[in-house]
Amino acid sequence: MALSIREATAKRLLGNLSKRNVSIGKDTNYDAVPQEHPWLLEPGMKLVIKPDVLLKRRGKSGLVKLNVTWDEAKAFLKEKMGTELTVEGLTGVFDHFIVEPFFPHDDQTNECYIAMRTVRGGDEILFCAQGGVNVGDVEGKAKKVMVPVDENGKVPKITFGGCFDEVKDAAAKAALPAFVQALYAKFCENHFAFLELNPISFDHKKGEFVILDAAAKLDHTAESVCESTWGDIEFPSPFGRAFTKEEQYIRELDGKTGASLKLTILNPKGRVWTMIAGGGASVVYSDTICDFGLASELANYGEYSGAPSEATTYEYAKTVLSLICAEGTYREEGKILLIGGGIANFTSVADTFRGIIKALKEFAERLKQFKVRVYVRRGGPNYQDGLRMMREVGKQTGIAIKVYGPETYITAIIPIALADDGGAEADKLQKYAELPRARTWVDVRQEDVEKDAKFNKVTDDIAHRSAPGDAPGDSAAGKGAADHGDGRVLFTNQSRCFVWGLQERAVQEMLDFDHVCKRAKPSVAAIIYEFSVSHLRPFYFGSEEIFMPVVQTLKEACEKFPEVDTLVNFASMRSADKVSQLALDFPQIKNLAIIAEGIPERRTREVNAAARRRGVTIIGPATVGGIKPGCLRIGNTGGKLENIMNSKLYRPGSVGFVTKSGGMLNELNNVLSMVSDGCYEGVAIGGDRFPGTSMMEHLMRYQKDPNVKMMMLLGEVGGDVEYEVVRAIQSKTITKPVVAWCVGTCAPLFSTEVSFGHAGAWAGAESEHATAKNAALRAAGAHVPNSFQDLGNVIHEVFEDLCDKGVIERKPEPEAPRVPMDYMWAKKLGLVRKPKGFVSTISDDRGEELVYAGFPISKVLKENMGPGGVISLLWFKRPLPDFCYRYLEMVLMLTADHGPAVCGAHNTIVTARAGKDLISSLVTGLLTIGDRFGGACDQAAQQFWAAKSAGLSPEEFVKSYKAQNKLLMGIGHKIKSVHNPDMRVQLLKRFTKANFKKTELIDFALAVEQVTTKKKDTLILNVDGLIGVSMVDMLCGCGSFSEQEARDFVDNGCINGLFVLGRSIGFIGHYLDQKRLKMGLYRHDADDIAYVLPDLGRE
């Protein structure tokens, strides 16, 4: 999307082509400015000062201060900075100025106009020999030069022809070609979308041009590729349109997420508020609200799309609801909130609604106080769950909510809401709420549908192309290979494609579509995924499991499947252009769908130029794709299988249509299934400014396809592609009936400039307004409704007329194919149940925040539970007293290491020196832990606890194990003794005595030690034994466990777990130590080995 920048920013980006300047803001320290820019105080320096607030015609409005010193400029700035002024009907604040050297010149003979702008075919340069404030009608008088886009990204040399012939100054005329060429290089390098210099003057002393005034727009999608050249960039709001804190917050939120979020406040005290999903749908809703005479009551324009997360939609909804319930905006008659949208292709309606519902619950009381009525209409993946949750939140909170699904016309909730206001118009408005479809596909069996009276009436009235028993796609358009001539047929029921990117969900949905269309082969031949080795991946084709090839390169895919001619490019916006350029190097690729949104416009046009030269059809970018019933769907086009069935997209209809919006493509399929025999082919060319193909190109394909009987176009505000259709209808190039509507008729009714959901949806001229386009289409002979609300009626009238004339033959509806339901989808709908594969009761990562045993991770950190607290939650599933946390942490510290000589550390060191990785080295050390090394904790606890519970005395306990010839675990040390105690044991013993409520088993173990050390002074209670018995005392004495629970934890190995966890710290330390020392391969000293071999081989 092209966004305006300040004049100072534009001149900075032009580098040495522009004179030096200073940008002054409201926080600027005027006294410090000359220190940074000493040229301001040069002798004789005269300056010019202008407001830099995206305001045109500043000179005509007397807002420019000329020929002043820095001191005079400073006084002027202090006077004007922060002041509010109304200019040409716009009231705004002067919060930025630009200061630059004053250049005296003759404004009659030394002022030229030059502008550059991006258009679909290239970059257009406009030049007027006479510029300045009286430049007049630039479009009418400017000389224009079109510079084709170089598909390799190079800056082409411009052929100017007679562009500068009217320049009278010979020196200026001679210098202009080089200056404009250099200017154009900066235009390309910085991804300008528009650059206007008015005027420029020629400095005869220096032999160079001086840029006096500049206005510019940058393609903000190029921010990632222009980071180094742009530097710190700002896209300010237009003059008179300062962003509110809510709008600014949504802009910032939009920049942090891959989804699209828009919010413009039109009337903060308005009655009608919207929260619409989808760029195209959001404009349609705004249009319809205005069509019902409520432009002055429309409070906001906004949209969310691109599968935003639950957290994102919550923040978005919370912001809108805070505005609805803002102080000072109460309306006695109440307010209306429309939560609407088209039928989603891939966004989970339930997931996005969860965020909205959370916000609704939070604002429930305020919404009721403000008498807010909520109307919901949505369709798409998981919409049943989403609508159910919306109904439930209405019942739970008492908010007045009415909920509708895709069986309702997309904008019907608007008249429904207005009819609920009552009054004389209520009955008239109610007619728009009629539901044209009986029930949705998933809710009813086939036999129930066939008995439904409404179903029979509709099917009797609708003509269908396919005869009973015909396989969908077996019409003339569905046989044989695709024709890539002038009357190109993009897809047949034999067409196959590659999918770039591991888009498993999209691929499965394509295969499901193939199955219901009765295709013999899946439409996807292979998946290209560069980050994996080639392999096979399972999918379902109907009820049969198949294995799809996944390859690393497009070259490998083309070699394996030479018949494939289509690539569906799911690469991200950062790499989609490179993948597309790569695809164009393979002659077999004739169709390319580019899904990504936000590709820099210059790179998009480079791909488009290369595609046109090679005869490749591009759908996109910023598109969901397209669909040809009975033949092929691109990616997620058409949404879930339910919508495919409801819209009868499993067989061809008679209507070919084209739109920019992917969401509206789904909606139009829905409408066509209700009012005609349905879609023959539908294409969403993409919402970016420069789609790879135009609407006209697709309409011409439909014109030449005998199977298309009528056409439909859904255009929008901005651009001029619809006028190509106007000329084609007027010249009889298009002779088939065209139903057309351009959305965005609301734009002129808004008091401020609105950034609509699509990048290309903004009008740069009067002719680009939607109203002007609709009028031109109507005058040319297209069938244009009075509003989008009437679009379905107009389509139905044209369709019925063609049926009556015999152009469309009425045929009965073929039986709908049976569809195996995906298990996961059936599970979401509550139709099946299945035992869980395994159960987890300690943690949950599914929500907004990680949860440990019911404790959100933020609470764990806030309460400073530490590692001991985390162990208590994940091992014992409950919080424990603070002394338990400190005890557990102390055990970890005491067991972390015991030097490099013990077997575990030795193994870790040897493995590390063999060049193995950290995990391998750690595991070799851990595998030594057992009864003989470190693993005595559990057995010591079990032995001592059993003896104490049985009532044995220490002497009896020792004698019983001696009689069984068994070792007492936790007793004895190789080095330490009564006279050389283990400090670890001493420290742990002091802590437990000072903090534990009971130390019964510790005391028993110490009494046993008194017995064993009488025999030998090294038979002390060692650290393993003390950890074992102290752990039992902690479990039994902290008050959080029953005795049986404590026994279960000990029997399950939790005490050894502490040793493993602690000693892992030391093993990792030894590994890192050896790597740091760069120690070589370890070989044991032969002198340290006793070689004892038998004498069998000796004579």
Contacts of residue 673, Cβ cutoff 8 Å, sequence gap at least 6: 437, 646, 647, 648, 649, 653, 679
Query: Which residue in the block uniquely carries the two structure tokens 């046109």?
Result: 612
Distance CA 258, CA 236 (A): 22
Residue 208: how many other CB atoms lie within 10 Å: 14
Q: Where are the beta strands (DSSP E) in 760-879?
A: 843-844, 851-852, 855-856
Give the orientation angle of helix 866-876 with respect to helix 882-895, to 10 degrees: 100
Contacts of residue 207, Cβ cutoff 8 Å, sequence gap at least 6: 171, 175
Nearest residue to 294 (alpha-carbon basis) of 273, 265, 272: 272
Distance CA 472, CA 559 (A): 30
Distance CA 724, CA 729 (A): 9
Preceding omega of 199 cis (within 30 degrees of 0): yes
Q: Which sign does the torsion angle of CA 103, 107, 109, 114 carry? A: positive
Catalytic residue among 758, 796, 973, 1070: 758
Residue 1000: how many other CB atoms lie within 10 Å: 15
DSSP output for 283-322 = HHHHHHHHHTT-GGGB-EEEEEES---HHHHHHHHHHHHH
Q: How far is CA 762 from CA 3, 190, 283, 758, in A?
A: 11, 22, 12, 9
Q: What angle do CA 729, 732, 738 make, to 5 degrees?
A: 40
DSSP letter at 1088 equals G
Query: Which residue in the block uniquely carries the two structure tokens 């338990």?
Result: 884
List the beta bridge partners of residue 577. none
Query: Which residue in the block uniquely carries the two structure tokens 């009238």?
Result: 797
Q: Are 604 and 759 contacting, i.e. CB atoms less than 8 angstroms apart? A: no
Distance CA 1026, CA 1012 (A): 15
Identify the H or E element spanning 375.
strand 372-377
Task: Kindly give the pairing relationship between strand 2-5 and strand 214-219.
Answer: antiparallel
Q: Contacts from 831-835 at CB under 8 Å and sequence distance 24+? A: none
Tell me whether residue 973 is one of the annotated catalytic residues: no
Q: Where are the beta strands (DSSP E) in 52-188?
A: 65-68, 84-87, 90-93, 96-101, 112-119, 122-128, 143-148
Distance CA 359, CA 322 (A): 10
Preceding omega of 621 cis (within 30 degrees of 0): yes
Residue 1094: how many other CB atoms lie within 10 Å: 6
List the beta bridge partners of residue 100. 48
List the beta bridge partners of residue 373. 336, 400
Residue 474: how many other CB atoms lie within 10 Å: 17
Chain centre to alpha carbon of residue 362: 25
Distance CA 491, CA 523 (A): 10
733: left (phi over 0), alpha (psi -120 to 50) or beta: alpha
Burial class (CB in 10 A: 0-12, 13-18, 19+), 942: middle
Annotated active-site positions, please? 758
